A and B are shown apart, each in its own frame.
Chain A
Amino acid sequence: MKVLVCVKRVVDYNVRIRVKPDGGGVVTDGVKMAMNPFDEIAVEEALRMREAGHVSEVVAVTIGDKKSQEQLRTALAMGADRAIWVEHEEAIQPLGVARVLKALAEREQPGLVLLGKQAIDDDCGQTAQMLAALWQRPQATYASEVVISGETVRVTREVDAGLEVIDVDLPAVISTDLRLNEPRYVKLPDIMKAKRKPMDSYTLPDLGVELPPLVERLETTPPPARTGGFKVESVEELVATLKEKGLV
């Protein structure tokens, strides 16, 4: 079985986000970029499936500009067998990404498509479900455990009430939650080796994909600032302050 695993280039999660003063988005010039943390978990899970003998090939996919190839190289260095770069310079949103992924799924015929549960830049959390709906395959979102047995997968999902377990038939779409695994570190020789691994590239016309209209971003502003208050010196002072505010 082949696995497609989706990786998105995003601002590194350690970066303190700054909104541009003109309202035109957040500052990304000179800012450290990285693979979306949930996608690292997705790559790791795909590799573990291959190591366990369930999977024969792990294919990393990204849709983005030239620089997004860096994140494909990271996936290859982690251990993916090959990569697919879908070149697209302009903005693209989850429904558009899902259409591209569906076209690739039809071409590649994977048994599983693994994605992150959300991209930490747009915080949309839409792409996996949209792909599942378009591809008419199961969606197992927020996975914290995935067990493959034959033609079905048992997925434990992190939901508000606790843990939900579902069985889905292959092929299926799975989105990863934080506790699914801990991604491996990439070693230097692997980065060298990754340079020789194959990377195919496509354009949207190659794949016959037409993008839907975008949700237009009119303005980006910083959130209302929470300014820190004050420190109290003692438990008595804390309790007295809370009582004064009518909170206890």
Chain B
Amino acid sequence: MSRLLIVAEHGAGNLNASVAKTLACALELKPAELDVVLFSADGAEAACQQAAALTGVSRVLSVARPENGAPMGAVLAPQVAAMAADYDYVFGPSTTFGKDLMPSVAALAGVPMVTDIMGVEDGRTFVRPTYAGNAVDKVRVPDGLVVATVRAASYKAVGGGGSAPVEALELDIELPTHSRFVEIRAGSSDRPDLQSATKVVSGGRGLGSAENFQVIYSLADKLGAGVGASRAAVDSGFVPNEMQVGQTGKIIAPDLYIAVGISGAIQHLAGIKDAGTIVAINKDPEAPIFEVADIGLVGDLFKLLPEIEAAL
């Protein structure tokens, strides 16, 4: 029977929503033991308790060290690699946290890695997207430890109600001092988090300016939706980078996705392949977004958006 470890992302006293989704993937492997590890400076008690409550968790391990105050891949990787000796699988979420960390863990353990698991065929065979999701590969990993990230958008979060023990773990290893955290500049927003929102409204270059983006925020607030954007909207400075949806931005799976003034480049579509219903609003009837949208509406967004808001 196998043992599986999940490296959990957390911050500001909360477990990241990706953990419960990574867990859903991990449970498909039916591991005999499934541990979740959190790295922090102070023990991250609240987040550990949230992890302990998730379905299927055997133990929550808390590794507290001053160096773990900021989640830096180069600092965490040797610690995860040291723990990996006791496991058959080590998984992380496909967030920037997991994507930064897990390849280093694999390299230190001397094994190849699987990025973005979207399906489990058996204990060694996984399904993952390539070419911006335009091809899907079934791959088999060689013998030995399996290190992977899990594509959160492919899984539904497991439920709560569990009560796994939380244990402090000390890892007596030397950590590198060559990398130092300076600061994080996070946009503060009261809107639902893009990666876990059930509804998302996104704007593209068609919005024309940061001021005009107000019509997107306004519709999103009316719907209780998160807000996303195309790369062009981010590059043009309409919105900050954390709002980018797509191959190189966030991969999301809301029930409702409304794309406004977005043409539908393959790199953008890569981020919304798992969305429930896609609505496209674009003045160009030939825009490629209409080839994938479930519901299309052709017209000028500046005229249509206020009308939609009023009709809701």
- Residues of A that sit less than 8 Å from B by CB: 11, 13, 16-17, 19, 25-26, 93-95, 98, 117-118, 120-134, 136-142, 144, 154, 157-169, 172, 177-179, 212-223, 226-232, 234-236, 238-239, 241-242, 245, 247-248
Given contacts A26-B131, A129-B73, contact A217 B266 (CB under 8 A): no
Q: A134-B107, A141-B100 are in contact. Are A126 and B273 (CB under 8 A)?
A: no
Is A216 touching B140 in the complex (CB atoms < 8 A)? Answer: yes
Number of interface residues of B (CB under 8 A): 88
A227 to B133, CA, bound (A): 15
A178 touches B73 (CB 8 A): no
User: Which of A25, A123, A158, A227 is the one whose CB lies under 8 Å from B247?
Assistant: A123
Give the secondary structure class of B's interface.
mixed
Inter-chain contact B136/A215, CB cutoff 8 Å: no
Query: Are B137 and A219 in contact (CB-based, < 8 A)?
Result: yes
Given A123-B116, A138-B176, A238-B308, A163:B110 Cβ within 8 A = no
Of B178, B184, B312, chain A has the most CB atoms within 10 Å of the CB of B178
Do residues A133 and B308 form an inter-chain contact, with CB atoms below 8 A? no
Residues of the B chain whose Cβ atoms lie less than 8 Å from the Cβ of A172: 178
B135–A222 CB distance below 8 A: yes
Report Cα–Cα, A232/B298, bound state, in Å.
8
Check if B130 sits within 8 Å of A123, measured CB to CB.
yes
Complex formed: what's the CA distance from A132 to B73 in Å?
Answer: 10
Smallest CB separation, B45 vs chain A (Å): 21
A98 touches B107 (CB 8 A): yes
- CB distance A142 to B103 under 8 Å? no
Q: Give residues of chain B (51-107) contacting chain A, Cβ–Cβ below 8 Å.
A: 72-74, 77, 95-97, 99-107
In the assembled complex, the Cα of A98 lies from the Cα of B103 at a distance in Å of 11
Give the dominant DSSP class at A's interface.
Answer: mixed
Are B107 and A142 touching (Cβ within 8 A)? no
Give A140 Cβ to nearest chain B Cβ, in Å: 8
> Which single residue of chain B is at the shortest CB-CB distance from A141?
B100
Neighbouring A residues of B295 by C-beta, 8 Å: 229-232, 238, 241-242
27 sampled A-B residue pairs with Cβ under 8 A? A120-B247, A122-B130, A124-B115, A127-B103, A128-B103, A129-B77, A129-B107, A130-B104, A132-B104, A133-B104, A137-B178, A154-B182, A159-B96, A160-B95, A160-B250, A163-B185, A165-B184, A179-B235, A179-B241, A212-B112, A212-B142, A215-B140, A215-B142, A216-B140, A220-B138, A235-B304, A241-B295
With the chains together, A152 CA to B142 CA distance in Å?
38
Per-position 1/0 for B288-309, Cβ under 8 A of A: 0011111111100000100110
Complex: chain A residue closest to B289, CB-CB: A228
The reply to whether B134 and A17 form a contact with Cβ atoms under 8 Å apart is: yes
CA distance A66 to B182 in the complex (A): 43
Among B223-265, those with CB < 8 Å from A are 223, 231, 234-235, 240-242, 247-248, 250, 255-256
